[in-house]
Structure 1
């Protein structure tokens, strides 16, 4: 079960939630793709070969996760907003 995403492939984690995507990016999950679905939602697809994404997201919601670098969080927001803009064109 994925908390706020879904899995099509066992080695990836998909989410429609922007800030979940930011968290995964900060935690060094490679962003494989992002695409717009029917209805306008954007799906972020991250590589997750070790199946750690759900545990990291749960730790975040349980307030057990420390982000290694606060500046990286801000940079990830900027990066993903840029990528969203590119998909929206």
Structure 2
């Protein structure tokens, strides 16, 4: 299905000619919302980072951390801590 096919399908489903000019916005907003809520297999990747001071540089396409480990020697998982416990 092409982008134009998608727009046609949505317009046919809505059956409202006054909304066809808003279809690009509707599709962009829906795509953004789905990308925030859903994690598909191809969105999950493994990356490495070097700690330099307090912070790590994150990849430009970073969404969220699932697991963080220290890899020097044995792999040690890092657990999230509240600010109060630090």
TM more than 0.5: no
In which range does the TM-score fall when normalised by the shorter chain?
under 0.3
The TM-score, its normalising length taken from structure 2, stands at 0.25
Q: Say which one has the larger Rg.
A: 2
